[in-house]
């Protein structure tokens, strides 16, 4: 990643950060599921939803706040994502839940583009552990 790219993340809007973060987080989840032994596409997709849905991400944000898991800078980028003007919304979820999940993804985008790979991996692992410990409310 060029020095220019690393500096530009600070100028990106929250939706662009979330775009990058969505992809980064998804890779961690997909790798985790495959390493756990899931191989069938339908099962992988169903299982991944437990981690990557807007509702799951909003729940993870609530846990980050509760556990004081994030840094001030990560909270800043969360708010940039949450408050960004978006012209799309998720199906089957409220606008507020969608906005919170956009903030969640913006944190991952910020960590990716600022090249904080260790923190990115730590946060992804923490999220996986919260989901697997059953700390999120059921989506059904």
User: Is the model's pLDDT at 42 over the cut of 90?
Assistant: yes
Q: What is the pTM of this model?
A: 0.91
What per-residue confidence (pLDDT) applies to 82?
96
Q: Using pLDDT thresholds of 50, 70 and 90, give the confidence band for residue 135.
A: very high
Say whether pLDDT at 88 is over 80.
no
The pLDDT > 90 percentage for the chain reads 83
Question: For the residues of 48-115, what is the DSSP string, one character each?
Answer: HHHHHSHHHHHHHHHHHHHHT-S-HHHHHHHHHHHHS--S---TTS-HHHHHHHHHHHHHHHHHHHTT
Q: Which of 8, 22, 67, 118 is catalytic?
A: 22
Q: What is the pLDDT of residue 103?
A: 98
**Would you say 57 and 71 are in contact if contact means Cβ atoms under 8 Å apart?**
no
- Structural domains present in the chain: 3-132 (1.10.1520.10)
CB 10 within 8 A of CB 124: no
Place 9 in a pLDDT band, splitting at 50, 70 and 90. confident
User: How confident is residue 86, by pLDDT bands cut at 50, 70 and 90?
Assistant: confident
Cα(111)–Cα(97) distance, integer angstroms: 22
Query: Is-catalytic flag, 22?
Result: yes
Predicted pLDDT of residue 90 = 72
């Amino acid at each position: 990643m060029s020095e220019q790219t690393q500096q530009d993340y600070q100028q990106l809007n929250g939706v662009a950060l979330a775009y990058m973060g969505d992809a980064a987080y998804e890779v961690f989840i997909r790798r985790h599921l495959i390493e756990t032994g899931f191989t069938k596409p339908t099962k992988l997709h169903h299982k991944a939803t437990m981690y990557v849905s807007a509702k799951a991400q909003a729940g993870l944000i609530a846990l980050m706040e509760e556990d004081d898991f994030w840094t001030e800078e990560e909270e800043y980028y969360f708010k940039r994502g949450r408050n960004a003007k978006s012209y799309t919304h998720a199906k089957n979820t409220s606008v507020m839940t969608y906005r919170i999940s956009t903030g969640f993804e913006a944190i991952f985008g910020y960590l990716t583009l600022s090249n904080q790979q260790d923190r990115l991996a730590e946060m992804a692992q923490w999220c996986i552990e919260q989901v697997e410990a059953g700390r999120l409310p059921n989506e059904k």
